[in-house]
Amino acid sequence: MYAAHHTPTAALASRRTSRSSRAPGDNPARGRGGDSSGAAPASLDQAPSAVGKVHLVGAGPGDPELLTLRAARLIANAKAVVYDHLVGDAIVDLIPPKARRVYAGKEAGNHALPQHAINQLLVDLAREGLDVVRLKGGDPFIFGRGGEEMQAVQAAGIRCEIVPGITAAAGAASCTGIPLTHREHAQTLVFATGHLKDGTVDLDWPALARPRQTLVIYMGLGALEAICTQLIAHGLPATTPAAVIHAATTPAQCGVHSTLADLPNDVRERGIRAPALIMVGEVISIDPGMLLTQTLATTA
Ligand SMILES: C[S@@+](CC[C@H](N)C(=O)[O-])C[C@H]1O[C@@H](n2cnc3c(N)ncnc32)[C@H](O)[C@@H]1O
């Protein structure tokens, strides 16, 4: 078991707000003056200048210091921000008080706004003439439905810019000292989701259970037992190093370092919850002496 020695920035320590204080769909923009039913311009070039632009912005894994400069600038100048559950509180606190802010939620099974309503909201806000920052955890194009939002915005004839963010796997790697690739251990890196649209975890197991590969599974905690069982059934040794990392790069970061066979039980015993990543592969055996020897008790 290990936990991060994460030193929150002053901003992080002093400006945390209670997530529960945000009502779902908090302060929703209702498209005042917007015309969500009007005909869209035929091409992006024909978009009237009174229409705003939508920026799909990656907020990174939680630590505000991992925002890109462009993301920080866009947030600081934002007139309207639509943000997800996994955007760190310290980053939400960077939204200017005067900006219109909408909490779109999207915890597993608890979506404050359904995806079609989020898409429409982005269009409505832009049609009000607002430049919209759509703030998403990690990178908008990695398991973030950023592609769907971009398509909806562009289909409405509204300009859309993508600002990449540090994805959770990269954040977790950096603060655990687990390199995602290493010449002696892993030449392939695979990101997979453990939460499929139809609620199953019917993944391409032979492709995932490959040697000399690091596998990172997002949104897989609910199916952890099935995932470990399938990886072993498809050829990975039960002793393959495996880890679960919760809330990487935030003050709440913690995790467990185990094997494929023991991981479900270890995670249960430790009570580790989402958001969390499952990492599988020989790279996890690399203990840089940063975090893997620490326990939650020593950092509590
Ligand atoms: C909807 S996906 C969004 C992924 C995001 N777009 C990214 O690039 O990291 C949400 C999942 O990402 C993972 N995740 C996001 N932030 C995390 C963090 N700070 N620590 C661990 N896992 C995280 C969890 O598996 C969570 O269930």
Residue 159 is part of a domain; what is its CATH number?
A: 3.40.1010.10
Residue 238 is part of a domain; what is its CATH number?
A: 3.30.950.10
DSSP 101-145: EEEEE-BTTB-SS-HHHHHHHHHHHHHTT--EEEEESB-TTSSSS
Where a domain ends, among 163, 183, 204? Answer: 163
Residues 204 and 67 in one domain: no
Question: 106 alpha carbon to ligand 1 midpoint, in Å?
Answer: 12
Where a domain ends, among 163, 192, 211? Answer: 163
Candidate of 63, 84, 143 to mutate for ligand 1, largest count of ligand atoms within 8 Å of Cβ: 143
Residues taking part in catalysis: 84, 106
Question: 275 alpha carbon to ligand 1 midpoint, in Å?
Answer: 6
pLDDT, residue 41, reads: 41
Residue minimizing CA distance to atom 5 of ligand 1: 138
Per-residue pLDDT tens digits of the chain, which is 300 residues long: 444 443 333 322 333 333 434 444 444 433 333 333 333 443 444 444 599 999 999 999 999 999 999 999 999 999 999 999 999 899 999 999 999 999 998 665 556 789 999 999 999 999 999 999 999 999 999 999 999 999 999 999 999 999 999 999 999 999 899 999 999 999 999 999 998 666 678 899 999 999 999 999 999 999 999 999 999 999 999 999 999 999 999 999 999 999 999 999 999 999 999 999 999 999 999 867 565 434 333 333
Residue minimizing CA distance to atom 17 of ligand 1: 168
Residues 20 and 147 in one domain: yes
Question: 137 alpha carbon to ligand 1 midpoint, in Å?
Answer: 7
Cα 273 from Cα 77, distance rounded (Å): 34
Q: 269 lies in which domain range? A: 168-299
Which pTM was predicted?
A: 0.83
Q: Which residues line ligand 1 (CB under 6 A)?
A: 61-62, 86, 136-139, 142-144, 167-168, 171-172, 218-219, 245, 247-250, 274-277
Residues 76 and 120 in one domain: yes
Instruction: Domain count for the chain, please give it.
Output: 2
Residues 190 and 270 in one domain: yes
Are residues 2 and 254 in contact, defined by beta-carbon separation less than 8 angstroms?
yes
Q: How far apart are the first and last CA of the chain?
A: 13
Question: 168 alpha carbon to ligand 1 midpoint, in Å?
Answer: 5
Q: What tokens were used for 33? A: 């003056």
| Cβ neighbours of 17 (radius 10 Å) | 11
Candidate of 86, 107, 135, 166 to mutate for ligand 1, largest count of ligand atoms within 8 Å of Cβ: 86
Residues in the chain: 300
Residues 50 and 77 in one domain: yes
Residues 154 and 172 in one domain: no
